[in-house]
Chain A
Amino acid sequence: MKQFGTILKFELQYYAKNKVFVGVTVFLVALIAVAMFFPRLASLFVSEGQEATVSEDRPVLLVCAEDPSLEALASPAFSAAFPGYEVQPADEAAVRERVGSGEAECGFVLDSLTSYTYYVNNLTMYDSNTAAADEALRTVYRLSAMEQHGIDAQEAQQILSAPVSHSVENLGADQTKSFFYTYIMIFALYMVILLYGQMVATNVATEKSSRAMEVLITSAKPVAMMFGKVISSCLAGLTQLLCVFGTALLCYRLTSSDWDGNPIVSSLFGIPPYLLGYMLLFFLLGFLLYAFLFGAVGSTATKLEDINTSVMPITLVFVLAFLVVLPAMTSGTVDSPLMIVCSFLPFTSPMAMFTRIAMSTVPVWEIVLSVAILAASVAGIGVLSAKIYRAGVLLYGSAPKIKDIFRMLRRA
């Protein structure tokens, strides 16, 4: 235990004195601070006059209708439906030419109120102009149809835009709010585990390639070495996260009035405390699980160059876990069978279970079981890694195959 303390202190000093680590932390903290103060800073530079000039340069939208009565109905409807555009009448040839040359952004050639051709130069992924035009034309068509049936315009307008009031009574998690902070937390977990895992592996391999291991292994117990390294990197990672998130929170407190109109930022900082607790729990367990594996793999590499290929299988498993969780999260189907299975498997549960807790309602027994499986796996893999480490650190030459590692484990 005393050895563990000595190793922990030494390894933590490594992070504290590491210029890259300190530099990156300071950079991230500064970046977050600037981002949080951005609206306030931006408002200092934008004057009233600049805002006014923006509206003069509106893109041109062309409307072509052969029939003057059709034109009379459609033009005001398009002007109302596309407030960001300058709506101009044109004939069909002019629409083709002006849209093709880029002078006008798009054009509509109307056959009737229920049929038209949309002209655009480059169709973007997010082009919703046809949907807006459909809606505008449909309204005009309905209004004119109702007028023909003897209902006056005002009455028809009222019928078409009858308001429906509703209220939402949510009994579980609110995905509209939880999505953003879950996303950020999962991403933070992903980045920290990959970066620090690699650091642990490199750290072990460096000691081995510099032959400091020859003295270390005869001075300290492998279990103490492994746990000392992994837990110190865990603390370093946690410190970095706390610095970044702490700065963000502090800056939000100072600037919260600037963010009132921004639902994303407001929901980010409205994260419930119990979720932060789960975040911390799954972060710690997930980090330890992967860091132990990275450490064990680092011990089997002889040269630093071998590290990248050696850690590939672990990185792959982790990226797969991320790729399962991310689509489930963005599509909102966090309780799919795949996600439920993943929330119990130790290699995926830190991300999968956390996502489910944040974005859905998970029975308590499922959470307890998932955490228990994860914690037991961390302990098991910790001891196993220490054994691989003890056998691995004294092996030089070609990196051992998986088969050899298992044989070493049986003997250890």
Chain B
Amino acid sequence: MKLELQNISKSFGEKQVLKGFSFTAESGKAFGLLGRNGAGKTTTIRILMGVFPADGGTILLDGKPIDYGRVSIGYLPEERGLYPKKKILDQLVYFAELKGMKHRDAVSAVDDWLRRLEMAEYRNKRLDTLSKGNQQKIQLITALAHDPQILILDEPFSGLDPVNAMMLEDVVKEEIARGKIVIFSSHQMNYIEEFCDSIAILNGGVAVLQGDLRELKRSRAKDVLVVRSPQRERILADFAGSAKPGESDTLLIRLPAPEKKQAVMSRLAARYDVDEIKVFEPSLNDIFVEYAGEQA
């Protein structure tokens, strides 16, 4: 399966939130939808789920306009919350039935997931008797119980302890392996780097960067060197204009061009007492800050 959002635009009153945003997500792979707070991620997700229509653009599933009557979507919203005063089983079955499951199937699917997430003992408890992390696991079941083709997880790891986070990681990896389209939205870049094959960074209503995550990292211009040296201050003075302090006592030196890498490295090694020189490889965090940092 292949999900394509093409040229989506959406305004609320005067405010234009999306200005022709496009991305493609494929089954069996996780897609990372990134952007700062208020960039339009939730709006994109709601349009994708058909909560409200886009002002312009199309959503295609396998090349055809998406038919909400036939495709099933599971959604874990960033704003968590279910019915605090109701029995856990009752409300999970209710949500599964709303998604089109028969009562009997819904009960057995919910029970399976409660066992899988080690929550079976809370089956007949009220939701508000659970801790926040456990409530989040319950909410995750509303997204998974009906076995959706498309799974949208908005900040799925926030608030989980490391054991629960690992359990969720396993679940997500399983779902990806089972051929689901998984769309991730998170500010925890380490999780995006771990799961997502491709990403899109949303800024100013358009995708400022998108594609295969490894390619994106690899194709970045290799024009910055990371230098560790006891003569840090001297190098900074000598390379004034192109050098700046980096993290943990390192220096970052921007090259005039990537081809000059060898020449500058030799010069540094010959003139200064240098402990380490390497080409700077940006983390997703660096890429995110670079592309999403300034409001376009």
Contacts and interface: CB of A to CB of B under 8 A. Distances in A.
A215 B100 contact: no
A229 interface: no
Interface of B: 13, 46, 49, 51-52, 73, 75, 77, 79-84, 90, 94-95, 97-100, 139, 142
A394 B79 contact: no
B94 A6 contact: yes
Interface stretch (A89-97, A148-156, A171-179, A216-224): A216-224
Interface in A1-44: 2-3, 6-7, 10, 13
A211 B13 contact: no
A252 to B, nearest CB: 39
Interface of A: 2-3, 6-7, 10, 13, 207, 210-212, 214-220, 390-391, 394, 407
B94 A10 contact: yes
Contacts of A407: 13
Contact of A211 (B46, B49, B81, B95): B81
Contacts of B99: 219
A214 B98 contact: no
24 contacts: A2-B100, A6-B94, A7-B98, A10-B94, A210-B82, A210-B83, A210-B84, A211-B77, A212-B81, A214-B77, A215-B75, A215-B82, A215-B95, A215-B142, A216-B98, A218-B46, A218-B51, A218-B77, A219-B95, A219-B98, A219-B142, A390-B52, A391-B52, A394-B46
Contacts of A218: 46, 49, 51, 73, 75, 77
Contacts of A214: 77, 79-81
Contacts of B79: 211, 214
A7 B75 CA distance: 19
Contacts of B83: 207, 210, 212
Contacts of A394: 46, 51-52
Contacts of B80: 211, 214
B66 to A, nearest CB: 14
Contacts of A220: 98
A13 B87 CA distance: 12
A219 B146 CA distance: 11
Contacts of B46: 218, 394
A284 to B, nearest CB: 26
A411 to B, nearest CB: 9
